[in-house]
Every structure is written in C-alpha cells, then in structure tokens.
C-alpha cells in the first residue's frame, strides 16, 4: 500500500474541516498547509499523526497555542509554523528536529535553550 505523503487543500478552510479523514493518521508522513489562508486553532488530534515527519503550517492565520500533542510526534524532524498568529509559550520537545521555523508569531517567554536563533526563520 502506498503512503499518502502530501495533501493540498483550497484556501479559506478551517483546520477541523481539512482533515475530517484524520482516521488515516497512520499514513501521513508530510503535511503542507502553507500559505492557504487557514485560520483558527490547530486541533489536538494532530498528535495522532504518528508517522508525520514534516509539518508546514507557515503563512496562514492560525491562532492560539501550539497543541502539546505535537510533542507526541516522535518522527517530526521539520516544523514550520512561521508567519501565523500563534500565542503562548512554546512547550514542544525539539530534540530530534532538524528544521524548525517559529518566527513572526506571538509566542511569549523564552524559547527552549536548544533552539538556536537561526531556527526562527
């Protein structure tokens, strides 16, 4: 069986509308929702995408805190949430990530010490 590696959706959708099929969670390795004019909070079930390696949410209008469930994604090596309206503290384990872009959000507090300045894109 082939893995679903990338989904593209039309603009102006809420995150909850996009992955109504999230029961496919064991197939996703990469999700690219960049620059699609998406808005709202990221649903907590994103942590169920257990094989996810790359998550690109940059250039949208996502709000609220990043769900702590992102920390359950043990295969996640690339995360780009830059150019959104995320708030709150950044509390996700980044120890295995190779690419991390957090810039142009409204995170409060200090970023974890293992995040270098060039990760803020």
pLDDT 10s digits, 40-90: 999 888 888 888 999 999 999 999 999 999 988 999 999 999 999 999 988
Q: Is residue 7 part of a domain?
A: no
Tell which wins on pLDDT, 118 or 5. Answer: 118
pTM confidence score:
0.76
- DSSP, residue by residue, 38-74: -EEPPPGGGGG-TT--EEE--SSEEEEPPPGGGGG-T
Q: Is residue 119 part of a domain?
A: yes
Number of domains in the chain: 1
Q: Is residue 14 part of a domain?
A: no
Nearest to 84 by CA among 41, 30, 48, 32: 41
Q: Is residue 9 part of a domain?
A: no
Q: Is residue 109 part of a domain?
A: yes
Q: Is residue 62 part of a domain?
A: yes
In the numeric block, the tokens 């069986």 are attached to: 1
* Dist. CA 27–CA 51, nearest whole Å: 7
Q: Is the pLDDT of residue 2 over 80?
A: no
- 19-41 tens-digit pLDDT: 555 455 567 889 999 999 999 99
Quick one: pLDDT at residue 41? 93
- The domain in which residue 76 lies consists of 47-121
């Amino acid at each position: 069986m082939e893995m679903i590696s990338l989904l593209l959706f039309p603009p102006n959708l809420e995150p909850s509308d996009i992955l109504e099929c999230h029961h496919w969670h064991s197939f996703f390795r990469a999700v690219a929702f960049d620059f699609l004019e998406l808005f709202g909070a990221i649903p907590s079930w994103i942590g169920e995408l257990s094989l996810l390696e790359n998550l690109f949410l940059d250039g949208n209008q996502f709000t609220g805190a990043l769900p702590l469930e992102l920390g359950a994604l043990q295969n996640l090596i690339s995360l780009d949430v830059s150019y959104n309206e995320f708030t709150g503290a950044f509390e996700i384990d980044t120890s295995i990530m190779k690419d991390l872009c957090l810039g142009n959000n409204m995170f409060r507090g200090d970023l974890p010490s293992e995040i270098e300045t060039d990760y803020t894109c």
